[in-house]
Structure 1
């Protein structure tokens, strides 16, 4: 498991090269065949990972990194399949996941394993985990049952659909919130103007992109913006002090967002007028 520590925004402002910015906030290689990869962030103790199971199942195991008896002893987790059909076994109970289906597993579950239904055409299981203080039921939300919210317009190049998986009116959790945004063809911008929520960290996974496509992901304080150039199946750690949801692609793209922190609401956003961005 890779450990990423917090960065002071003043340090980022004055001393971060492109390489250092990418090393701190960009996760370039989450998905590798027959392997579980994880990054532990000190921003709100979020943990992000990816796994491509092959012929053999892969267990959710953090080794010695968490200093707990098992992964979910003091944690909860949200999992989204971005590949072919797969399944997750939770203490012996099987949960099938098609592409873009979401599974939430609550505090206290001991044995979690990842499987591909067809190892020659494997699942790609992406997950984000947060600290938890109360057990909530394990639950699947298929993409077909998720309620779509349409936002944006072609005129602004941000015609998009948002699916909320884990939140106050969906799958219940302690503090983890998780969902997915799909941009329609010929639409490239996510939310602009951007917003900040200094009480919550956020993680983005960009996927379903063509090999040559890229997303310019904007981050930084509103008056000191930076960008990261992101390709398919790469993730971003977005700190609380940074602008959120600002990005433009060379083509349309899809991303999974996950948040945790001080509160449990989508309304805690301070929008930044576009004329104030620098």
Structure 2
């Protein structure tokens, strides 16, 4: 498991492009036959990618967590962005089609990942946060998730938001998770920008072709930077940072948050005139 430390916003002002990418961009999450994870010191969130093929893969924190099993003091959200698969939790199977979400709560000991067809494997994106209370394991298929339409073609941000894990959906301790789909010919997300100093956020960009890119904007509102992001790469967004982007084509992204509170709407919007 790779460890990423927190960054002071004053220090970030001096970063080169390479240093910015090293600290905030996760470039290679999904590798066939592997479980890859990054431990962030922003609210101690763990981000991971799993592609099981012919053999099942096991959720294991190794020495990084110093616990007897991964979910001893944690909860986890899982979204499948690939072929059909399943997650087995303490012997119970949970099938996942593309864009379905599974929440697994505190205390579950044995979590394994499987693909129905190794030639078209599942790609299981995972985000885990610390937990202090057990909540039930629960699946929410994309077809049962409540869509929220936002934006417009005129603003190039016509999009649909699906909230999976949140106060009015799947219950958790602190983890919130959902997905945003941009319609064709729409490229902007989360603009006007905002920050939420009480929690961090993680973005995973996907459903992009090989040549497409997203310019992900981050940094303090008066000191912005950008990262160039490819398909199936993730961004760690600090609490003090904006998190907005524009793509060369439309795309889909999964957002996940953890931190001080559990209120989805707790965000501080930034006026366009204040962005620099």
TM-score range, shorter chain: over 0.9
Aligned to 1:249: 247
1:9 paired residue number: 9
Q: Secondary structure at the match of 2:21?
A: helix
Deviation at 1:91, TM superposition (A): 0.2
Q: State how far apart, in whole Å, the 2-side matches of 1:210 and 1:160 are.
A: 19
CA–CA distance in structure 2, aligned partners of residues 162 and 139 of structure 1:
20
Aligned residue number for residue 107 of structure 2: 108
State the secondary structure of the residue aligned to 1:154: coil
Once the two structures are TM-superposed, the CA of residue 78 in structure 1 deviates from its matched residue by 0.1
Deviation per residue, 1:179-229 (Å, 9 max, x gap): 000000000001211001001000000000011000000000000000000
Which whole-Å CA distance do the structure 1 matches of 2:35 and 2:266 have between them? 33
TM-score by length of 1: 0.99
Report the alpha carbon displacement of residue 267 of structure 1 after superposing the two structures with TM. Answer: 1.6
Matched residue, 2:39:
40
Q: Structure 2 matches for 1:206-225, cutoff 5 A?
A: 206-225=205-224
Query: SS of the residue aligned with 2:273?
Result: helix
From 239, 260, 263, the counterpart of 2:261:
263
Aligned to 1:156: 155
TM-score, structure 2 normalization: 1.00
Note the C-alpha offset of 1:41. Answer: 0.1
Q: Distance in 1 between matches of 2:266 and 2:98?
A: 30
Task: Give the match for residue 239 of structure 1.
Answer: 238
**Could you list the per-position Cα deviations for residues 219-249 of structure 1 after superposition, in whole angstroms to 9, with x for gaps in the alignment?**
00000000000010000000001012x1100
Give aligned pairs, total: 276
Identify the residue that residue 26 of structure 2 maps to in structure 1: 27
SS of aligned partner of 1:103: strand
Q: Which runs of 4+ in 1 moved over 6 A?
A: none
> Matched residues in 2 for 1:54 and 1:89: separation?
15
Cα deviation 1:13-57 (Å, max 9, x = unaligned): 1x2000000000000000000000000000000000001001110
1:127-142 matches, cutoff 5 A: 127-142=126-141
| SS of structure 2 residue aligned to 1:156 | coil
CA offsets per residue over residues 121-160 of structure 1, 9 Å max, x none? 1000000000000000000000000000000000000000
